[in-house]
Structure 1
Amino acid sequence: MKELGKISKLRINRFTANGAYLQMSDGEEVLLPKGYLKGEEKEGDELEVFIYTDSEDRPVAITDRPIALADEFAIMDVKEVTQFGAFMDWGLPKDLFVPKSEMGKPITEGNKYLVMVCVDYKTNRLIGVSKYQDFMLSDTSVFEEGQEVEALIFDQTDLGYKALIDQHYEGLIYGNEVFQPIAIGDRIKVYVKKRREDGKLDLQLTPLGRQKYEEGAEKILSVLKVKKFLPLHDKSSPEEIKKTLGMSKKHFKQSIGQLYKSKRILIKDDGIELNG
């Protein structure tokens, strides 16, 4: 059943009291329950549906879409943990089951985990797998240093925040370089800092090189246009600068240096203000 776990356009073969039966590519039919019908459908119509299995492991079609399809990752909340595995919320009435044997680390209730939706070909049903390392690629030559990419934050460690890039690459944003709130499940713009020999990527939140300071300068200017004056200077603490502007003290000093040289701000003993 190649449609399992995917969004497919299937033709209506017939109607019954239970709903509509749709034609699959293997010649079999799958039921779209009555509750998913609008009442205006007719035989021969094509409907876009998601195919998974019900509580009795029978194929069923629904018009709802989960947060991840087969062979895709998503951050999922834990609904229940049993001795056999964990049930995850993936946006459908039937939770996604992660067998204990497919857990990368013990799953506990109240937390979020990176899970891939997979077809279990032994049982012909969909399961979740949290052993994300099994799906990572190590050839990072497709990335360039300084390249902008979208990151899905999926874990926090003593070093920083782990991020998933393009569904198959693992990256790390070092905690001492983070100056803004980040939470598991966030999708954020990051930049490739370094391609590591172990097949992982070092990432950072700000652009590399000159562009980084240009963006920092623009941020300071936008704040000054509203507040007119910022009580930040060389002796301000890194914590105070981070709280006010969301950047490191080094980034702040280099950015205001740019603004001062271009005569866009005045630097005073107690802070900075717009020039004119």
Structure 2
Amino acid sequence: MAIIGKRNQLTVLKSAPPGFYLDGGPHGELLLPGALIPEGAKVGDTLDVFLYRDSEDRLVTTTEIPHAQVGEFAYLRVVSVAPRIGVFLDWGLSKDLLLPIREIKQEGVQQGDWLVVYVYLDAKTDRIVASMRVKRHLSTTLPAYAEGQQVNLLVTGETPLGYNAIVENAHFGLLYHNDISTPLGIGLRIDGFVRAVRDDGKIDLSLDRAGHQRIDVNTEVVFDALKKAGGRLPFHDDSTPEEIRAAFGLSKKAFKQAIGSLFKERRIMITKHGIRIADTQPKSVSK
């Protein structure tokens, strides 16, 4: 069954001057305009298409890929403002996405602004729209994440404590300032790790794995990077957090812990010019 606001795998039923007509099940035959037909596609093929309503309220399909589907959160740019109606957002399709005025959370939204929104199907109009009231669309069920579990994050805002983030497109979490070595951008999508799930359902997050597991994993990340670089890398205590994050995907704190552990194991040497693999590696003991 073809679902509005989602990518669907639909079969081409016939070809006509306007384009292909696809099997939409209960929705009937759905047009894929000729300009959007993939090269080499033919009747009988199954195509990956997105289903939505055009400006004349007709259900149509497109091979364009939106930045977000129904049921997802996204960080989108305002392309135009329509007084008394709302604003329109660029979501990757030729037809812009409406953020109705009732769903705008802040005053003074202007063209060019970037907003964190939730994309949903309006029950009254059956049209895809956006909402800035993201908290009402988060899951109310208690998260079942395990400590140290890797999760996908969307950074939504900064607070005195740290950065708010949406976890796995479903729950609310917080990255604390004292665990972050460099500022984060709103709208950033990044992988993080669960530190704890609180009784209120909110999630404490980190950009690094917790405890000894984190240190063990990070030491191998650094050591593997050293081996791939021929045994030497120009990173040390004075390297910037941005340089370290770009090179290893680690915070500066995690990097320092990792090289400290590697040094204690006599696997690397730390110099003013960087780090290098030690000339003599500790030998493994055979049993």
TM-score by length of 2: 0.76
Q: In structure 2, what is the equivalent of residue 137 of structure 1?
A: 139
Residues 260 and 80 of structure 1: CA distance in aligned 2, closer, same or farther (over 3 Å): same
Could you list the runs of 5+ residues in structure 2 that have no partner in the other structure? Answer: 246-250, 280-287
Quote the residue 1:262 is aligned against: 265
User: Aligned partners of 1:217 and 1:47: how far apart in 2?
Assistant: 45
Question: For the structure 1 residues 154 and 141, does the alpha-carbon distance in structure 2 shift closer, same or farther, using more than 3 Å as the test?
Answer: closer
Counterpart of 1:36? 36
Q: C-alpha deviations, 1:33-65, integer Å up to 9, x for none?
A: 221235755555443322111122222121222
Which residue matches 1:49? 49
Cα shift at 1:257: 4.6
Give the gaps of 5 or more residues in structure 1: none
Matched, 1:226 2:232: yes
| 2: CA distance, partners of 1:39 / 1:217 | 47
1:7 counterpart letter in structure 2: R
Q: Is residue 98 of structure 2 the alignment partner of residue 97 of structure 1? A: yes
User: 1:82-121 maps to which residues of 2 (within 5 A)?
Assistant: 82-83=82-83, 84-106=85-107, 107-121=109-123
Q: Is the 8 A contact 2:79 2:111 kept in 1?
A: yes
Q: Counterparts of 2:18 and 2:213 in 1: how far apart (Å)?
A: 60
After TM superposition, the score normalised by the length of structure 1 is 0.79
Given that 1:148 and 1:190 are in contact with CA atoms closer than 8 Å, whether structure 2 keeps it comes out as yes
Instruction: Report how many residues are paired.
Output: 267
Match in the other structure for 2:285: none
Write the deviation string for residues 129-160 of structure 1: whole angstroms up to 9, x where unpaired. Answer: 22111121244441122222121223233332
Deviation at 1:242, TM superposition (A): 4.2
Which digits, 9 at most, give the CA deviation of each residue in 1:189-246, with x for residues without a partner? 211112123321110111111133335545666579424784x4xxx8xxx6646646
Q: Matched residue of 1:192: which SS?
A: strand
Gap change, CA 1:243 and 1:57, over 3 Å in 2: closer
The reply on whether 1:176 has 2:182 as its aligned counterpart is: no
> Cα gap change, 1:97/1:260 in structure 2, threshold over 3 Å: closer, same or farther?
same
Paired AA for residue 8 in structure 2: S
Identity in percent: 34
Structure 2 counterpart of 1:96, one-letter code: L
Matches within 5 A, 1:76-87: 76-83=76-83, 84-87=85-88
Q: C-alpha root-mean-square deviation of aligned residues, in Å?
A: 3.3
2:183 equivalent to 1:187: no
